């Protein structure tokens, strides 16, 4: 891709990702960061790991040190997203004592109220969690995105409608549907899924 910087993660992240990602590349482009990966469709968690890796990479690339993971233990996939986020930071040599994990909605809110001034970045494990937490804090006069860098899992119109112009990691769901239809038409394509995941930056952060 012209003007992009390609980074191979197959070797440097092999210790944690080789069991999930067969081929994973990251590019930093004018519109943000994107990745493409090919994997056996029997492994459902690969896209979670690809996206949380992009979130971790974004925080590291922008110099964020003290980070928090906001998730809910009772929600599907949040544990896998935490494992991917933590493992990516660990593999990059990030100090583990600079990473905080919140396990529930209430814990996220309490942690932000108490510690947002001590944090450089927060990764939300779901867009609905990002929106609900930020809306609750707004009613208390706290505009979280002004106090700390945020990244949300999933990029949906709801984030924009909620007034949250923040980076988000998204999968090309339309592309996934197209590939699924292609696999139905051509059995030779079944078992292999190639899907793009992207770090979508708000307009004011694009270079």
* Segments making up each domain of the chain, as ranges: 5-205
3-state secondary structure of 133: helix
pLDDT tens string 71-95: 999 998 899 899 989 999 999 999 9
**CATH code of the domain made up of 5-205:** 3.40.50.2300
Among the residue ranges 19-28, 122-131, 137-146, the one predicted with the least confidence is 19-28
pLDDT of res. 155: 77
pTM of the model: 0.71
pLDDT band at residue 49 using 50, 70 and 90 as cut-offs: confident
134-138 contacts: CB < 8 A, separation 24 or more? 134/162, 134/164, 135/162, 136/109, 137/109, 137/112, 137/113
How far, in whole angstroms, is CA 42 from its chain's centroid?
21
Residue in this structure with the two tokens 């994973």, named with its chain if needed? 24
| C-alpha radius of gyration, the chain, whole number | 17
């Amino acid at each position: 891709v012209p003007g992009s910087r390609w980074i191979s993660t197959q070797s440097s992240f092999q210790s944690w990702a080789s069991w999930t990602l067969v081929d994973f590349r990251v590019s930093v482009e004018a519109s943000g960061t994107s990745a493409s990966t090919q994997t056996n469709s029997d492994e459902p968690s690969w896209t979670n790991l690809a996206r949380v890796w992009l979130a971790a990479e974004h925080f590291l690339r922008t110099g964020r040190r003290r980070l928090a993971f906001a998730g809910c233990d009772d929600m599907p996939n949040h544990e896998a997203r935490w494992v991917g986020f933590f493992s990516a930071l660990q593999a990059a040599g990030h100090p583990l004592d600079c990473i905080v994990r919140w396990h529930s909605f209430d814990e996220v809110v309490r942690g932000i109220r108490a510690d947002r001034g001590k944090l450089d970045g927060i990764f939300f494990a779901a867009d609905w969690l990002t929106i609900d937490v930020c809306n609750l804090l707004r009613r208390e006069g706290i505009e979280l995105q002004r106090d700390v860098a945020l990244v949300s899992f999933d990029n949906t119109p709801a984030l924009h409608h909620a007034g949250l112009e923040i980076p988000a990691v998204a999968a090309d769901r339309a592309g996934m549907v197209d590939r699924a239809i292609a696999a139905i038409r051509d059995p030779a394509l079944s078992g292999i899924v190639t899907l793009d995941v992207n770090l979508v930056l708000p307009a004011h952060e694009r270079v």
